[in-house]
Structure 1
Amino acid sequence: LMVDLVLNHVSRQSEWFRDYVEGIAPARDYFITVDPQTDLSQVVRPRSTPLLTPVQTQEGSRYLWTTFSTDQIALNFANPDVLFEFLDILLLYISMGARIIRLDAIAYLWKKIGTPCIHLPETHEIVKLLRDFLTLVAPHVLLLTETNVPHAENISYFGNGDEAHLVYQFSLPPLLLHALQTGNSRYLTRWAASLPSLPTGCTVLNFTASHDGIGVRPLHGLIPEEEFSRLVEGIRQRGGYISMKRDTDGSESPYELNITYFDALSDPEDPDMDRQVARFLCSQAVMLALQGIPAIYFHSLTATPNDEAAVRRTGHARAINRKRWDAHSLEALLQDASTITARVFRSYLHLLRLRARHPAFHPEGVQRILDLGDSLFALERTAPDQSETIVALHNVTAHTVTVPIDRIPSLQKAGQGKELITGRTMKPVPRTLRLSPYATAWIRVSPPH
């Protein structure tokens, strides 16, 4: 059970905020009041909305810090009472069986005027404190940080193995999307090959979609600017939306692509649904094969299309990826094997069951990225106890690709292999292997007798 611990802010409808408005202790000191004439130009903004929101209180008008929106009022962690409130909340979650605590928007926790107010040393100290607290009272509980920022900043929340146990792999969703939209794995392979070794007891949470959009700040420095612009425009062509943030110079730039991952992998020039299904399943196979723990959004299991009606109804771009299924309608789709929903769901379950059976996919299993050219994304996973090796091959293109077996030593040396997804035994491993468009092969390698 994972529980979201939202430390940065509370709702404008909360009791704490109502008490603040009425001047009731202790909540009257839980928020951050700022003179609107203060120079806040250095503050890094994840949104384009105003940083300060006017609020009418018993003592008159006040301007409060609102990092994300006018209805999410930022908390003042410089007040120790706020920290102790959250330790109480954390204990409640643990008592209810929480196994993972997700620290929502943790990067923006500490505010200090005259600084960017992101990744401040005090924020990292709070994460360390929470880690120490869990080590004492609930060592079985894991901390997960949610920091939708460039990769180096993101993994800084591992600290020296003394902060988060888990960090979201935020660069993966947009990089993988780019690879499959362009049919070119170059930047995905380059990034994956550069990933550092993680502290003992730490790993990443791999994902492609979530209740939010696809964050693009983590793409910074990973693909050329012109490629990024094409990616953004491609989302618009596929019926998605682009959410913007305000930069320190006052301009705006994209921070999030609002679209379902399934429709993000459509092709406006070739609306072949079979091809879209294959492209989508390839994306999920890549995510499942990578070192770490997979996190799967419900709407990925069901290949949910864009919910444009929800966007019109709510006025919120994120609603496009938050469809509320009617249970009977969903069950009917799943029972009809010919529907896209059923096809993706059954194929996804097959991949998950395979992954669960093979220790090579353990989070601590060794990962080696194989550069086999721009048409393939390939990697090798080895079980922690060396009991098995799996070579994972993914064709990211719309054409059949011949895999260069001579560049994969483990396959060259193998006496035989087994392709896990189809169940086909390879005796011996062939000298050439052809992958159809967007196909995946997970080959378990057996040593020669």
Structure 2
Amino acid sequence: METIKKRLEFIYEDQDIIDPVWTEIKKRIHEIKKKPIRQRKQKWDEKDIVLITYGDQVKEEEIPALKTFKNMYDRFLAKNFEIVHILPFYPYSSDDGFSVIDYKKVNPTIGEWKEVKDLSKSARLMFDYVCNHISSQSDWFQNYLEGNPHYKDYFIELDPSVDLSTVTRPRAYPLLTKFKLLNGEERYVWTTFSEDQIDLNFSNPQVLLEMLDVLLFYIEEGAEYIRLDAVGFIWKEIGTTCIHHEKAHELVKLFRDVVDEVANGTVVITETNVPHKDNISYFGNGHDEAHMVYQFPLPPLVLYSIMRENGKVLTDWAKTLHDTSQDTTYFNFLASHDGIGMNPIRGIIPEEEILSMVKDLQEEVALVSYKRNPDGSESPYEINVTYLDALNKKTDNDDLRVKRFIVAHSILLTLPGVPAVYIQSILGSRNDYKGVSRTGMNRSINRQKYKLEELEEDLLNQGTLRHKVYNQLSDMISVRKEEKLFHPNIAMEVMDLGEAFFAFDRFNKYGEKLTVIHNLKNEEVECSITGKFINVLTQNKIEIDDSIVIGPYQFLWLKPIN
């Protein structure tokens, strides 16, 4: 508990502020510790695979969407996924949930807290903690506009003449948005992501107390994984980049301390879509900050490597991944509700190659979103596309689509870390152009919602792309979950087998080893390895005297045998 006080002293410095805030935090922690909090699993293992989904992903008439989802999950997905990340399921005004109107309510279109609790009986749950910003339609901001003095410093007012050129801009929108107060006065307010997403002012300790109350409420309601959305932007200081500020890191550490105190085993995950060096800084010293960080370079690197049929960049990058502490690991993913970010591979892939890849995808299957640079120019920020379509051309047949898609997911499932699969991926979904037309948002291309009856029919029909993807990915996941050498913290040694391959060994301190080889080319390639193995995917024994020919997009999970 004393560590929390030290965090407050670093963040606020003024003792007159710190003492009452510290007293209030202690009180709230003691109150929640008296309540029956569900026991958490202590540490992760090879069985922990996350499903990322919206709460209203599947629908039936007159039935709460979360109830429909639970029924669908129990039938089709529970065997694959231990953890379900329900993307923001609170009332919202934009950005498909990430502009939260009320942190403590469930969006009535999908159900109530009862439906959330019912789902927690089938899966461990991951909640979004949208801590950087709140909806312009929230009570907090509406009170601010009405002149309620309590809310005056909940948000950041600035004169538009202030020089903000050093501030990192994740979007091509103005940083400040003009609002008119009830009395007719105009104010310019900090809005990092959009005019509807109002940044919270954590330099006001009352905001910290409000948001800690939200965090504790989520723990009480069953959140076992907590995703800190856009947390890198949480602390603003004029004259800095306003991203990864040392006080932003201190706030994450404080959140971690509170979580450990009231519900040890709850996993804190930082969502920072930034270059790898900055991303892993949220591990702190390996024991005091995030338990997991998103592995943001992975989606674009795997995509680039399969598009170019060349694993050199992926191999070189993987060699730089250091083993994490036993208290931390990577949160690996290929697809999510957002696009495929380009920033995390800047510095890994030359800019001209990034632009070439973006151009190729844009001409074939993808939409592109841009960010504004300090000099006023724009750069591609993310590719908007389903991962299945990103890997393939319009003219490819379904068999080829599935091969590319499944080899990509073998990489996801075998690297160190906890893997997460977006629901559009396990469902074998294609681009939703109608959704983009309906919402005007590029990201809608990868956020399609379904009628349960139609979706189930596709999943059960052996001739559909959905059926092929769902079954092949499910089979691979089931093997992965039974292999202890895929524990998230088991060591990895990357191998150089030629540019056609991405390969590595996973091994433990007892000398047990598993070799993973991916052919990234659409042709047979000879691979120079020797030994006697069992392919854990097929249970077939293989004896290799000199080399083995690996088929197009084939992958092997090989365990040595005597």
Which of the five TM-score ranges fits, normalised by the shorter chain? over 0.9
Contact 1:172 1:206 in 2 (8 A): yes
State which of 13, 22, 28 in structure 1 corresponds to 2:137.
13
How far apart in 1 are the matches of 2:131 and 2:364? Answer: 35
Contact 2:340 2:384 in 1 (8 A): yes
- Residue 155 of structure 1 and its aligned partner are, at CA, apart by 0.4
> Cα deviations across residues 16-73 of structure 1 (Å, max 9, x unaligned)?
1111111224223200000011111111100000101011113411100000001000
Is 1:137 aligned to residue 240 of structure 2? no
Structure 2 residue matching 1:381: 3-state secondary structure: strand
How far apart in 2 are the matches of 1:383 and 1:85? Answer: 44
What's the counterpart of residue 178 of structure 2?
54
State which of 145, 164, 186 in structure 2 corresponds to 1:40.
164
Matches for 1:19-418 after TM superposition, within 5 Å: 19-59=143-183, 60-161=185-286, 162-268=288-394, 271-383=396-508, 386=511, 388-406=512-530, 412=531, 416-418=532-534
Contact 2:490 2:508 in 1 (8 A): yes
- Residue 225 of structure 1 and its aligned partner are, at CA, apart by 2.2
Query: Which AA in structure 2 matches 1:420?
Result: V
How far apart in 1 are the matches of 2:355 and 2:284? Answer: 33
Higher mean C-alpha displacement, 377-386 vs 36-45: 377-386
Structure 2 residue matching 1:347: 3-state secondary structure: helix
> Cα deviations across residues 97-117 of structure 1 (Å, max 9, x unaligned)?
111110000011111111111
Structure 1 residue matching 2:401: 3-state secondary structure: helix
How far apart in 1 are the matches of 2:149 and 2:560? Answer: 65
Query: Which AA in structure 2 matches 1:308?
Result: Y
Query: Which AA in structure 2 matches 1:209?
Result: A
How far apart in 1 are the matches of 2:496 and 2:502? Answer: 7
How far apart in 1 are the matches of 2:514 and 2:226? Answer: 32
How far apart in 2 are the matches of 1:322 and 1:117? Answer: 30
Contact 1:361 1:382 in 2 (8 A): no
Structure 1 residue matching 2:467: 3-state secondary structure: helix
> Cα deviations across residues 220-259 of structure 1 (Å, max 9, x unaligned)?
1111222111110122123211101111111111111100
- Residue 385 of structure 1 and its aligned partner are, at CA, apart by 5.2
Contact 1:364 1:384 in 2 (8 A): no
Structure 2 residue matching 1:369: 3-state secondary structure: strand
Contact 2:433 2:445 in 1 (8 A): yes
How far apart in 1 are the matches of 2:149 and 2:541? Answer: 70
Higher mean C-alpha displacement, 256-265 vs 218-227: 218-227
How far apart in 1 are the matches of 2:405 and 2:274? Answer: 25
Change (3 A) 1:384 1:9: farther
What's the counterpart of residue 424 of structure 1?
540
Is 1:436 aligned to residue 554 of structure 2? no
Higher relative contact order (CA 8 A, sep 6+): 2
Give structure 1 stretches of 5+ with no counterpart.
Answer: 407-411
Query: Which AA in structure 1 matches 2:539?
Result: G
How far apart in 2 are the matches of 1:131 and 1:324? Answer: 34
Number of residue pairs aligned between Structure 1 and Structure 2 = 436
Change (3 A) 1:36 1:107: same
Contact 1:291 1:363 in 2 (8 A): yes
Query: Which AA in structure 2 matches 1:42?
Result: T
Change (3 A) 1:231 1:89: same
> Cα deviations across residues 129-158 of structure 1 (Å, max 9, x unaligned)?
111112222211111000000000100000
Query: Which AA in structure 2 matches 1:41?
Result: S
Name the TM-score, length of structure 2 as normaliser: 0.76
Change (3 A) 1:139 1:199: same
Name the TM-score, length of structure 1 as normaliser: 0.95
- Residue 422 of structure 1 and its aligned partner are, at CA, apart by 2.4
What's the counterpart of residue 560 of structure 2?
445
How far apart in 2 are the matches of 1:381 and 1:197? Answer: 12
Change (3 A) 1:203 1:384: farther
Query: Which AA in structure 2 matches 1:47?
Result: R
Contact 2:326 2:489 in 1 (8 A): no
What's the counterpart of residue 409 of structure 1?
none
- Residue 429 of structure 1 and its aligned partner are, at CA, apart by 4.0
How far apart in 2 are the matches of 1:419 and 1:135? Answer: 40
Give structure 2 stretches of 5+ with no counterpart.
Answer: 1-124
How far apart in 2 are the matches of 1:423 and 1:261? Answer: 29
How far apart in 1 are the matches of 2:540 and 2:357? Answer: 37
> Cα deviations across residues 246-286 of structure 1 (Å, max 9, x unaligned)?
11111111111100000001125x52321121011100001
How far apart in 1 are the matches of 2:195 and 2:448? Answer: 24
Aligned residues with identical type, % of pairs: 44
Contact 1:42 1:116 in 2 (8 A): yes
- Residue 430 of structure 1 and its aligned partner are, at CA, apart by 4.5
- Could you say what the CA RMSD is over the residues aligned between the two structures, in angstroms? 1.3
How far apart in 2 are the matches of 1:430 and 1:284? Answer: 29
- Residue 199 of structure 1 and its aligned partner are, at CA, apart by 2.8
